[in-house]
Amino acid sequence: MSMVESKTRIYDVRNYGANGDGKSDDSKAFMSAWNDICGRHGTPTLLIPQNRVFMVKRNIIMKGPCKAKNINIQLHGRIVAAQKNAWQGYKSTMILFTNINGLRIFGKGGLIDGYGSSWWPCKHCPRPSVLAFNACNGLYVGYLRITNSPKAHITINGCEGAKFSHITIRSPADSPNTDGIDISFSKNILIRDSNIASGDDCIAIIGESSYINATGIACGPGHGISIGSLGRINGHDNVEHVRVYNCSFTKTTNGARIKTFSGGSGYAKRITFEKIKLNQVYNPIIIDQHYNNIMNAGGGVQVSDVTFRGFRGTSANDKAINLACGSSGCFNIVLDKIKIISSKPGNPTSCSCRNVHGRSTSTIPNCNSSLR
């Protein structure tokens, strides 16, 4: 094969033994296809064709580094995981991409179904996430649909310069710990123009992450967009330079949330939530420095330079703004151009601030009396 041919070559997963009949286990075929194209030069494309259902019963691990500078995956068909009793792999991640640079996944028309309903009844059992990216730099994922993950739908760990666009995630509100997207140990991550419905955080930004941008996210149901939880079990976590912009929350447990454990250390700083629409959100704006009521000794995670600006809509809870900081306090907290009214006609909304140093301007409910 010439170098020109290899640059434009499309590799159909069916040519590696995948049946796509929704019954046979196609896991090994996916692995064989990946091992082949990872060793190719040029820009190979792995095709998962339309009108086919590819059943996977064990973990698919797509590992680099690869010879190709870029690899494309076109997901036009469906990937469906086996139910819990038929799953034969590890209970960590169903599909893992690790140590791959320049990976581009185009999911237009395609779908990944984690068959989570067979896992959810056992809330404390180990359950796998559907899709994980580990140490993948220069990653692009677009127009991807994921539904019914046993646990988190997408996890991003140790990645730099990743972009996610037009992602659709769907799981029921009562599905346990089904985070939409979890981000940890990552930098320069953009998530935009996406719809996330889950049983936990729509997006969770966890420790050692910076320059995270979530723009144009429609969240609901779910637990909102969260920084944290940070400082779990006396741990050390740093999160900074986060911007959540032009997002909407519909009937979510929380809207904009920062959650830390009191015994941990580290910081959450330079964080902005701006231009936010709220529809019957129970905790529209919340800082919780005693997450899960766990009170440990220690200085706690420092929260500072946080701005909540341009919030509009309704709260399902009379306490629309709840900033509960630890004894060491939160600093430079800004509330600006906020109007949150009750979703129950005639009910007032209130603001509660504890150990909060900052300022409030043009904010309903009024927070001036409880800010330091």
- Whether residues 108 and 235 share a domain: the answer is no
pLDDT at 279: 98
Q: Greatest CA span in the chain, whole angstroms?
A: 74
Mean pLDDT of 227-245: 93
Spell out where 13-167 has E strands. 21-25, 45-48, 53-56, 60-63, 71-75, 78-81, 93-98, 103-106, 111-113, 129-134, 140-142, 145-147, 154-157, 160-165
Mean pLDDT of 301-317: 97
Q: Is the pLDDT of residue 5 over 50?
A: no
Tokens of 68: 């190709």
Q: How far, in Å, CA of 229 to CA of 266, rounded?
A: 12
Judgement on whether residues 196 and 249 belong to the same structural domain of the protein? no
> Mind listing the pLDDT tens digit for each residue in 282-294?
999 999 998 766 5
Give pLDDT, residue 303. Answer: 97
Mean pLDDT calculated for residue range 72-82:
97
Mean pLDDT of the chain: 94
Classify residue 330: in a domain, yes or no. Answer: yes
In terms of domains, do 250 and 310 share one?
yes
Answer yes or no: is 215 within a domain. Answer: no
Q: What is the pLDDT of residues 51-60, one digit of tens each?
A: 999 999 999 9
- Confidence band for 1, pLDDT divided at 50, 70 and 90: very low
pLDDT value of residue 4: 38
CA 84 – CA 129 distance, rounded (Å) = 13
Which residue is catalytic, options 182, 200, 201, 305?
200
Mean pLDDT of 194-223: 97
Q: Which of these ranges, 98-107, 220-229, 288-297, has the smallest mean pLDDT?
A: 288-297
- State the CB neighbour count (10 A cutoff) for residue 70: 16
Higher pLDDT, 176 or 298: 176
Q: What is the CA radius of gyration of the chain?
A: 22
Query: Is the alpha carbon torsion for 67, 72, 78, 83 positive or negative?
Result: positive
- pLDDT at residue 293, rounded to an integer: 65
Examine the residue annotation and report whether 25 is marked as an active-site residue of this protein: no
In a domain, 289, yes or no: yes
The residue range of the domain holding 269 is 229-372
What SS3 class is residue 343?
A: coil
- Annotated catalytic residue within 26, 201, 223, 290: 223
Q: Determine the Cα angle at 164 with ends 222 and 44, to 5°.
A: 140
User: Does the active-site annotation cover 223?
Assistant: yes
Give the total number of structural domains in the chain. Answer: 2
Q: What is the CATH number of the domain that holds 168?
A: 2.160.20.10
Measure the CA–CA gap between 103 and 280, rounded to whole angstroms. 39
